[in-house]
Structure 1
Amino acid sequence: MPDLLELTGVSASYGRIQALSGVSLSVPEGSIVALLGSNGAGKTTTLNAISRLVPVQSGNIRFDGKPIESMASHRVVEGGVVQVPEGREVFRDMSVRENLEMGAYRRKDPKSVRADFERILDYFPKLRERLQQRAGTLSGGEQQMLLIGRALMARPRLLLLDEPSLGLSPVLVQQIFGFIDRLNKDGLTILLVEQNAAVALSTSSYAYILENGELALQGASKELRHDDSVRRTYLGH
């Protein structure tokens, strides 16, 4: 399959702190690719560089064959790259319905927006039950569903997921990753940042591991699950 996203030698920093150094990776269309590493390894910075939330010092980012490393962040979203941030950043005082509608605020096609709204409620039936409820009163798992649903309202071709399992119980993690797998089977390409390496490697087809802002290891996910260094460092074996 052709690469939908390609990073070549991407470096980024926060002031004097070098967060990424020459990172190269690719995400084939229709795949789930995982980006793993410990806290501070550069995972979220990689997503933020793709979304143009942090400036790229050097290197290239291409989406669907077109350079986006100098593009404004809202243009990146309009082009089909949408990020789900970590930390349950819902609009807490707005209803579930209003949160979902905010995901489509730049769209001009009311009929297809309504169709997408219904499709997302089919993905996440819990949200249908809580459309009038304030988003801040939802459970952690429901807020994560709402964040993903809001992102889907923007009609992404590539979904950037940042730590979707953070703070969730094992049962809810299983549910969320079941939704992620279904979205992928329905054709959505996903770049997944996740600290739960076991579930990330079980869900993805390929994975990259970052250490101190640099690419340390990469390979097919099923092979990395059996790599001794990965098992010791990330899988607790």
Structure 2
Amino acid sequence: MVINKCKELIELLNKYGKVTEIHDGALLVEIDEYYLHELSELLHWKLNGYYTTSIGVDERPLNGSFGVYHAFVLDDYGCYVILYIRVSTGLLKTTSITPVIPGANWAEREIMDFLGIRFIDHPEPYRLILPFDWPDGIYPLRKDFPYNCKASVKDKIDEVVHGSTSTVKDVEELSSRYTLVPIGPYHPALHEPEYFELYVDGEKIVDARYKGFMVHRGMEKLAESRLTYNQIPFLAERICGICGFTHNTAYCQAVE
């Protein structure tokens, strides 16, 4: 029954673009971004699919362009569906699905930080992972970025609010109307360094600014540049102190 439903889904997706069954139950759909909102809404809201993540890849050595992949899980159909958008190196922009699926917010911002691909109509196109003083125009996960590069930082303290917003256009208004409560980056309640800037009206939180990822170590670039397939598990199991086996197993399953 599930197999038949997956076939039904393939027939439906064929209307939007080229469908490739990577393996049993995993479908890659290469589409024009014109259909991206319509198809994302269909998969997530109408077919009861789960949005899992968005991934950016520098595919210039393969096809001369960048790629953006939006992944969904459809339990009712027994399928994984990955929407693939090819992004031109000249434009370096594509349509954001965050207005349709708010959960895509951070994943798309991560791609913006690491690959420099802009997402049109993203509601918060601000830095997420890179620190506020990271220089503009340098993107760590591009293939031409050397793993041992030490980029010179610049002072952007007057332009950026803790790395989570691009300008301070609304900070004065918030500060004049509400009380600012800073939490972090070191706090007994936090497992790792994070910074929360809370704006409160009495006991009600009316706005919040967040800056995390302070222990990001660039492991992706190191694994890609220096290690072989067989050596990467040594690094994968050191991503986290309590879930090393999980990361290691996930990597091995993906490769195999």
| TM-score, length-scaled by structure 2 | 0.27
Q: Higher RCO, 1 or 2 (CA under 8 Å, sep at least 6)?
A: 1
| TM-score, length-scaled by structure 1 | 0.28
Question: Over alpha carbons, which structure has the higher Rg?
Answer: 2
Higher helix share: 1
